[in-house]
Amino acid sequence: MTDSLMRPPVRSSSCLCLCVSVCVCVWLQVSPALAQLSEEELRRERVETTEDLQRTEKISAAALSARNKRGWLLDYGFNTSMSYTASGNNDRNAKTQDDPDHTLDNDLQFFIVTENVSRNLKFYFRNKTSWNNNSKISAAMHESDVDQFKVDMFYAEREFDGTSLKHTLTVGRQFSKIGRGIAFGLTADGIFWKSKGKKMTATGFWMRQNPGDNNLDVLAPNSGSTKRWFAGAEYKHKFKKWMGLDVFTLWNFDKNNEQRSAVAGIAGSVQRYKFESQYYGLGTDGMLFSKLNYWWEYNMVRGKTYNASTVAKPVASEVNVRGSALDLGLRYLFGGDISPTVFTEYALGSGDADRVSNVTSDQRGSTFGDDSVYRSFGGLSMGNALSPSLANIRIFKLGGSAKPFGRWDSARWSDMTFNLTAYTYWTYAKGGATSDPVITTGGDAKSTKIGNEYDLTVSWNLFNDVKYQLKYGLFTPGSAYPAASRSHENYFKMKVAFDL
């Protein structure tokens, strides 16, 4: 017997919000300037969307209580969102024309989940179809594109009860991360095993990166058709409320053979591409004084890549990869209806002062010695406007959040959250490349100061099935940028999501 859990139709208030949101997005579309998403922004969008839609992977407990002891439960629905992203001088260079100056993105996800009544076997499927409209600044650029039907997630999950541990096996396309997601946080195909006890959790996985994802290096041959595998293991132990320990390792296997291409500007030269890495991480987190949350995580990376050569027909040699990353922070929760919080965070990713080209590229590399840039398959969200990768950078973050209408009786207003955050950025290795190619590198670099940023994020659930999010960021470049061309960057994004 099959039971269907039907979702209620969209209320008239939600339809009104949909109409208003469409009108707002259309009006915004004629406004000037919109940013082209960087690699780090794209990664952040994938993670945020995945986390936001994780609720669709569960059938509501309220519905289960009304079911009998036989058969299967079924839930399905749609989530659609519209987002408009705008910025001015988004390349931080006043002398160069900006990237496409406005983009309107529309995403549609359909999901279906079925689970047996005993809740030990589940199947989940979600697809994604996207349409975007970009400002057209050249004949070679598409003004609008449609991303055809894409399998976003598709997996089977089986639970096994042991004497003291609960085991879960998940097979298929799924989102997985290790630690805080700095070293690894991807939606990938593979097998994931978790054993959970009262105080400990142990996980292990074997994953293949989705073939359509970038091959770490968008400039490498066969980019967009990657062949990369991952193996990982993690152990977490909760000693007390005030302390938890996290130990993990991740192995990245580059199966793209030995890719080669010519080096631009160097006649007869050949560039080889390879990046194999092993990550080792240690972290702790916990709660102090009942309201003060803390965390820290350290990871180091070891591996092999190719060095850079500036001569024709170079004999490239493999060099060691030796990088590291650190993230530590504090968050104090005051509680109450307004729910104010204050937080601070410090993060760094190692760099290489003699590296040629961008840190997210394998084209060229360290000119001598080891390659000490920290590169990974995850990251941290550190700023709306600059949105840097955690490579050759040090970041200090300070901010707070609150629900200013938390004491209002209306649930439509009481859940609105304001988040204000300030950032300061420096390069880790002076003169080394970062994720922003505009920063001065090499011997001409005069400073490590990348700049400052100030962000505002507003999240609002106006109705149960309508969510708003507004992001604003202002980045002011520092002396690490060329003085003659450096320019402020303004970033704005509005996103409206509907559950149907």
Q: What does the alpha-carbon distance between residue 219 and residue 272 come to, in Å, rounded to a whole number?
A: 12
pLDDT computed for residue 326 by the predictor: 97
Q: Grade residue 5 by pLDDT with cuts at 50, 70 and 90.
A: very low
Confidence check: pLDDT of 281 > 70: yes
Q: What does the alpha-carbon distance between residue 262 and residue 189 come to, in Å, rounded to a whole number?
A: 32
Interval 247-276 mean pLDDT: 77
Top pLDDT among 194 and 45 is at 194
Confidence check: pLDDT of 25 > 50: no
Confidence check: pLDDT of 28 > 50: no
pLDDT computed for residue 483 by the predictor: 83
Number of Cβ within a 10 Å radius of residue 355: 27
pLDDT in tens, 63-118: 544 445 567 889 888 888 888 887 666 567 766 666 555 778 888 899 999 999 88
pLDDT computed for residue 29 by the predictor: 36
Poorest-confidence range of 23-37, 369-383, 480-494? 23-37
The whole model's pTM is what? 0.85
In the chain, the largest separation of any two C-alpha atoms, in whole Å, equals 74
126 within 8 A of 55, measured Cβ to Cβ:
no
Interval 22-36 mean pLDDT: 36
pLDDT computed for residue 420 by the predictor: 97
pLDDT computed for residue 45 by the predictor: 77
162 by DSSP, 3-state: which? coil
Interval 426-437 mean pLDDT: 90
Interval 255-276 mean pLDDT: 70
pLDDT computed for residue 267 by the predictor: 65
Identify the CA nearest to 347 among candidates 374, 330, 328: 328
CA angle 179, 119, 72 (to 5 degrees): 130
- The mean pLDDT of the chain is 81
Interval 311-338 mean pLDDT: 84
Interval 296-313 mean pLDDT: 81
Confidence check: pLDDT of 27 > 70: no
Confidence check: pLDDT of 4 > 60: no
Long-range contacts from 93-98, C-beta under 8 angstroms, 24+ separation: 93/438, 93/485, 93/486, 93/487, 94/485, 94/486, 94/487, 95/484, 95/485, 96/485, 97/137, 98/33, 98/35
Q: What does the alpha-carbon distance between residue 195 and residue 337 come to, in Å, rounded to a whole number?
A: 37
Confidence check: pLDDT of 55 > 50: yes
Number of Cβ within a 10 Å radius of residue 103: 21
Interval 164-183 mean pLDDT: 94
Interval 294-318 mean pLDDT: 79
Interval 363-388 mean pLDDT: 86
Identify the CA nearest to 298 among candidates 277, 284, 309: 284
77 within 8 A of 63, measured Cβ to Cβ:
no
Confidence check: pLDDT of 153 > 60: yes
Confidence check: pLDDT of 19 > 60: no
Interval 38-59 mean pLDDT: 78
* In the chain, where the domains are located: 2-499
Which token pair is 218? 């968008």
pLDDT computed for residue 222 by the predictor: 64
pLDDT in tens, 222-255: 666 778 899 999 999 999 878 999 999 999 998 8
Top pLDDT among 53 and 36 is at 53
pLDDT computed for residue 423 by the predictor: 97
CA end-to-end distance (rounded Å), the chain: 26
pLDDT computed for residue 11 by the predictor: 39
324 within 8 A of 374, measured Cβ to Cβ:
yes
Report the percentage of the chain scoring pLDDT > 70: 76
Strand partners, 281: 248, 299
Top pLDDT among 455 and 369 is at 455
Identify the CA nearest to 82 among candidates 429, 470, 423: 470
Q: Give one DSSP letter per residue of 334-380, joined into a string.
A: --SSS--EEEEEEEEE---TTB-S-TT--SS-BSSS-B-----B---
Radius of gyration of the chain (CA): 24
CATH class of the structural domain 2-499 = mainly beta
Interval 165-181 mean pLDDT: 95
Confidence check: pLDDT of 214 > 60: yes
Confidence check: pLDDT of 143 > 90: no
H/E segment holding residue 148: strand 144-161
pLDDT computed for residue 35 by the predictor: 36
Q: Grade residue 280 by pLDDT with cuts at 50, 70 and 90.
A: very high
pLDDT computed for residue 99 by the predictor: 56
Name the pairing type of β-strands 166-178 and 144-161: antiparallel
Q: Grade residue 172 by pLDDT with cuts at 50, 70 and 90.
A: very high
pLDDT computed for residue 44 by the predictor: 76
Top pLDDT among 290 and 425 is at 425
pLDDT computed for residue 26 by the predictor: 36
Q: What does the alpha-carbon distance between residue 105 and residue 243 come to, in Å, rounded to a whole number?
A: 42
